[in-house]
Structure 1
Amino acid sequence: MSVAVSTRFPLAMDVFMGRNVTNVVCRWQQLYGEQGQYLVSVKREMAGKNKTEVSCTLMVQKDPENSYIPLWIALALFVALTLLYFLGFYVSKLHCTQKCCHWLRGKLVSYEPKSTEPPRPVAEFTKSRRLLSLDTFRGFSLTLMIFVNYGGGGYWFFEHAAWNGLTVADLVMAWFVFIMGTSVGLAFHAIMKRGATRIQLLRKLTWRTLILFVIGVCFLNYGPVDGPLSWSWARIPGVLQRLGFTYFVLALMQACFGIKDIDNYQFGNWWAAIRDVILYWPEWIIMAALETLWLCLTLLLPVPGCPRGYLGPGGIGDDGKYPNCTGGAAGYIDKWLLGENHIYRSPTCKELYKTTQPFDPEGILGTINSILMAFFGLQAGKIILLYRRRPQSILKRFLFWAILLGIISAILSKCTQNEGFIPINKNLWSLSYVTTLSSFSFVLLGIMFYVLDVKNWWGGQPFIFPGMNSIFVYVGHSLLGSFFPFSWELKFPASHAEPLFQNLLGTSIWVFLAYLLYKKKFFLKI
């Protein structure tokens, strides 16, 4: 008998004696390599007068292939192109190169060497132009999101984790939410400085929220293969819906409690060292109340047929004790308020844990922690505003928050995948997931801020282009992802080379389209 097995998850195999499933004579667990062929030999031999012994032998008939070769080649090409870009940029700035270019163009003007003045202070960044680090971080997250949504070359770590744990695919949306919070803080401060009233801010944030909801529900809810849209099965939650509601709550707090004259609180108070928290104490109270609500519902809400505080995947997980408890309170609330037909029916845990219950990773309860993730991003924006004349202070504050949130994550998860108080789980948007990804975000934003906005070592290319047209690129890649040239019928779907080329090409096309729109100064805003 031959059978194909998963090469993504370790496979546990038991050999029973007779029909008694408790009489296990052989047991092993192994992660099998791709395109490998394995032979399992089970033999029963007489070991005595009335005694038999069963021996199991696992043999490799064909060695598995090295599936990472296409990925290493793609990475090497990317590194080579990056080095060529920076080398060309460096050469173009040389005195002799620029002088030669002037001579070739026939310009009879005196050549003036490049100014050696130090980079502009951060104070000018927030007043005269956008922070490059924000758009670059957003664009980097969006580019990676497109790649993993298109398939990620078929590699398991570019797909979402089955339940607990983190993969590359689990990082991108959280980063996007974080940077949305940072942008809200900077944008609303600038709008309030220009004299906008709170009523105008409310109109703006309400309109933007409604547009995000409409796009998410009406345009990204189904594909052409589904036929005419029926409201009897239409999925209500979604990525843009969650982003819209998260933006609404965060922007509403800023409209109500934002501080216009933030410069008046720079120095001179005993609480100056923590003014980025003290000045916004109403927002912290609101977030503490929301997080308390999440903890109470998640850990204390009675769910029929499930243990209180259950955070598992259900199905065959936990030895099959709770097959209908997928997501615990989060799944129960979604089914109770929205109905089973209006939430996601193919969660990432379905393949591994053989679940039968629908579960939506963009559900209601997880949206509370999405707001918390954006709030940490908002905190980064407040730090930039308060310390904009002292870049080193910004970096120190970012590092402090990264370490603090990292410690909280270590305590909640016990530095394990499944044994923590609250495991890291993107499906649930658990508290440990939010603190972990917020810690990562502070580190990444701090690095980009230092490289792009303080030192001017890099202009953010190519990620800054999709970062400045994020709505256009996200909606476009979602609607057109199944059409050529973003997708085609694969001749060798079992390999990684062709899927990886297809996904990288599709992602590159969207980055190039964003670049063209950037050159035309076209920016789609809501």
Structure 2
Amino acid sequence: MNRSRERLLSLDALRGFTIIGMIVVNSPGSWGHVYAPLLHAPWHGVTVTDMVFPFFLFFVGVSIALAYVGKSQRKAERRSAYGKILWRVVKIFALGVFLNLWPQFNFEEVRVVGVLQRIAIVFGVCAILFLNTSWRQQFCLGAGVLLAYWGLLQWVPVPLDEVNRGALESGIVERALGASQAVSVEAASEGALAPNLEPGTNLQAWLDRKFVPGSMWERTWDPEGVLSTLPAVGTGIFGMLVGAMILGIGDPYRRVSWLFFVGVVTVLAGEVWSWVFPLNKNLWSSSFVLFSGGWSTLCLAACLLLVDIQRHRGWAQVGVIFGSNPVVAYALSGMLTLFFYASTSYWPSLSKRFMDGAIGLGMSGELASLLYALLYVGVLFLPVYWLWKRRIFVKL
């Protein structure tokens, strides 16, 4: 087998199941009735939902290693790849902004950053790095980014602005949907807060307010903001290193064994680091990078064993179909909310009618909400299945 050109069905399946996970957690029947694991952790801590996005960025890194390994070794192909990478970054970023505008297209309140925008940046940075560095250099760079990010948040004072002054006086910061949260902060000097990991008052939040244009997800900061994109690139680098391991180990069972070993060690390392730098998806903390990357590696190892080596492929087919057109599935999941969640004073939304009917039949609100999300996944399965059957793969 030419390992530089092999295609892993397990990777397609996991990418697809990750997209399904994104849709499920973003599309409940009612936000008032959601099982706790399907909600993000309010701040420190990790739920299953918090792991979905880093899983996808990890698989972006693995895919880069598998797709660009030949180009990295041939100078002419490497040069020709730069333009394609940049154009792909622009298209994915633009789609993310478009989905944030949909359907009102209120440009005054546009959210410039977001999930697809972060995917675009991580892909672009990691692809350029892969074409120009060795795996050892990528390892050193990734470790340096995680350590530097930890140092910035733990030891750099946060300049005072209106939000930080208000938090210092009242102990309260505003979050999305008019919610507020108590914070514990103290002054480091007349013009700065002491370094902290509190929501809205940390260094990342201050940089978001200073440099992110338009509106932000949490009003005064954004979980996909400026500084936290650095460790998100670290997640992509982690995936590239695992991809390099897949390419470099010929024996399939030895490859899987090493992936299991790396996954376990990295999960434990992330857990230990969390004692001083808590697991936090909003901050994309360095410990969160290792913890989520370790679990991503373990899932990939298990899927490699089951799907690519032992060829138990029936259960993976749904994931493969979604994973063949992941951007289409994700974009449609955002756009079709206009029809499945919109309501008027005369016409309640489909989601509300479903929830009212299911609860009226005696179903719990949480179960009804999850069932609606799964039905929504089923609706989105139809167009991606149609594309897959016709071997149409939309690549941005």
TM-score, structure 2 as length reference:
0.82
Distance 1:207 1:141, change over 3 A: same
1:17-96 equivalences in 2 (<5 Å): none
Of residues 179, 195, 211 in structure 1, which corresponds to 2:59? 179
Q: Distance in 2 between matches of 1:403 and 1:489?
A: 40
8 Å contact from structure 1 (residues 313, 327) kept in 2: no
Structure 2 counterpart of 1:202, which letter?
A: Y
Cα displacement (A) at 1:504:
1.1
The equivalent residue for 1:167 is: 47
Cα displacement (A) at 1:433:
0.9
Cα displacement (A) at 1:229:
2.2
Q: Distance in 1 between matches of 2:231 and 2:212?
A: 19
8 Å contact from structure 2 (residues 158, 201) kept in 1: no
1:209 and 2:89 matched = yes
1:477 and 2:356 matched = no
TM-score, structure 1 as length reference:
0.63
Cα displacement (A) at 1:478:
1.2
1:126-525 equivalences in 2 (<5 Å): 127=5, 130-151=7-28, 154-191=34-71, 197-217=77-97, 219-224=98-103, 227-230=104-107, 232-257=108-133, 279-304=134-159, 316-318=181-183, 326-338=200-212, 341-345=214-218, 358-387=220-249, 389-413=250-274, 420-459=275-314, 460-484=316-340, 488-491=350-353, 492-493=355-356, 495-525=365-395
Q: Distance in 2 between matches of 1:477 and 1:194?
A: 39
C-alpha distance after superposition, 1:441-481 (max 9, x if no partner): 11100000001111112242111101010111111111112
Q: Distance in 2 between matches of 1:146 and 1:125?
A: 33
Cα displacement (A) at 1:379:
1.0
C-alpha distance after superposition, 1:230-288 (max 9, x if no partner): 2x43212111111111111100011212xxxxxxxxxxxxxxxxxxxxx5222233323
SS at match of 1:499: helix
Q: Distance in 2 between matches of 1:452 and 1:200?
A: 34
Cα displacement (A) at 1:195:
7.9
C-alpha distance after superposition, 1:425-454 (max 9, x if no partner): 111101111111111011100000001111
Percent identity between the two aligned chains: 28
Measured on the aligned residues, the alpha-carbon RMSD in Å equals 2.8
Which structure has more helix as a fraction of its residues? 2
Cα displacement (A) at 1:378:
0.8
Distance 1:208 1:242, change over 3 A: same
Structure 2 counterpart of 1:328, which letter?
A: N
SS at match of 2:369: helix
Structure 2 counterpart of 1:405, which letter?
A: T
8 Å contact from structure 1 (residues 202, 255) kept in 2: no
8 Å contact from structure 1 (residues 180, 377) kept in 2: yes
Greater RCO between the two (CA within 8 Å, min separation 6)? Answer: 2
Cα displacement (A) at 1:220:
1.2
Q: Distance in 1 between matches of 2:270 and 2:341?
A: 41
What is the aligned length? 356
Q: Distance in 2 between matches of 1:462 and 1:386?
A: 29
Structure 2 counterpart of 1:407, which letter?
A: L
8 Å contact from structure 1 (residues 313, 325) kept in 2: no
8 Å contact from structure 1 (residues 412, 422) kept in 2: yes
